[in-house]
Amino acid sequence: MIEEGQLDFIRRLVFKYLMEDYMPFPVNKTSCYEWANGLNIKKGGETILYTGCSYQLASIGQKFDDFLPKIYKIKGIESLSTFGKKFLKIRDERAIKILKNISLLLKKANVDFGYLYEDEPYSGTILLEMGMLEEFKEYGKKLIDLFNSHGVKNIITVDPHTHYTLYRLKELLSFDVEIKNYLEILSGKDLHSTYKEEYVFHDSCLYSRFLGMRDVIREVIKNAGITIKEDDMITGKETSMCCGGPLAPINKEISEKIAKNRAESLKTVSKKVLLACPFCYVNLSPYVESYDIAEVISNE
């Protein structure tokens, strides 16, 4: 359990990084946009694919959950920050594969979109999840100014946390954009998968309960010819449990206990778990065989 002094320190540090560089951690920003290299996606435009760096930073975010409390008493944090921004480059091959496939699926669906590359900012999700509402509003103004400077009118999201964060941004501030998730766009499209195993689907709390996408996601899965097994007590809208991920920055031990319990319940339905959230994957994959939807739907 993180002490109050440590928690305040972490909050200040994360907010500082965000306001300086649009990133919650001091890492080289190429970590966020290198996935798009070689895909011939135009830069910018009225409609953009926005990753919010969620898939790219999910794994390192878990490491920072462990690391940040330990640097509470370290001097020279500014030097560490400068070093990280220049040299700490994270390359998550799985995240790259997922994002490439999402972009190719959208192209196959004849969606015209661009990407901000090195200008793409982190969404600010961590501020919301740590209860830093005033800081979120302040950072949100920077986000809105950045999107407006690029003439963005439509945003396609790829994960539930970024999607929900943008909706909260629209709710709290004046942000005149249309927000759609890539799974909403693929709903009703002709899809297929080479994976013929049976899965149980773990719902993201945000997608299912707050964004109303539970049925949309199942339609995408069905249209791709993927079989999922359901159990009303485990995968129902009101009975499905959280993966425990959002609690990790505050209490790692309880977060892991929730993840283990959730994984065990899912395994009673199927040994293979399908999901649609990078943070759910990070939290559940140590305890059960897990796959993202974008890993099993083919773009060919």
Q: Domain check: are 160 and 54 in the same one?
A: yes
Is-contact 125 136, C-beta < 8 A? no
Domain that residue 207 falls in: 190-296
Q: Domain check: are 36 and 127 in the same one?
A: yes
| C-alpha distance across the termini of the chain, in Å | 47
Out of 134, 169, 185, a domain closes at: 185
Give the residue carrying structure tokens 């901000």. Answer: 116
Is-contact 34 255, C-beta < 8 A? no
Q: Domain check: are 126 and 10 in the same one?
A: yes
pLDDT in tens, 218-268: 999 999 999 999 999 999 988 999 999 888 777 888 999 999 999 999 999
Q: Domain check: are 89 and 218 in the same one?
A: no
Q: Domain check: are 122 and 214 in the same one?
A: no
How many structural domains comprise the chain?
A: 2
Dist CA 128 CA 298 (whole Å): 34
pLDDT in tens, 53-97: 999 988 776 555 555 555 545 544 555 555 445 445 677 899 999
The CATH number of residue 210's host domain is 3.40.50
Out of 154, 185, 216, a domain closes at: 185
pLDDT in tens, 6-57: 667 778 888 988 998 999 888 888 889 999 999 999 999 999 999 999 999 8
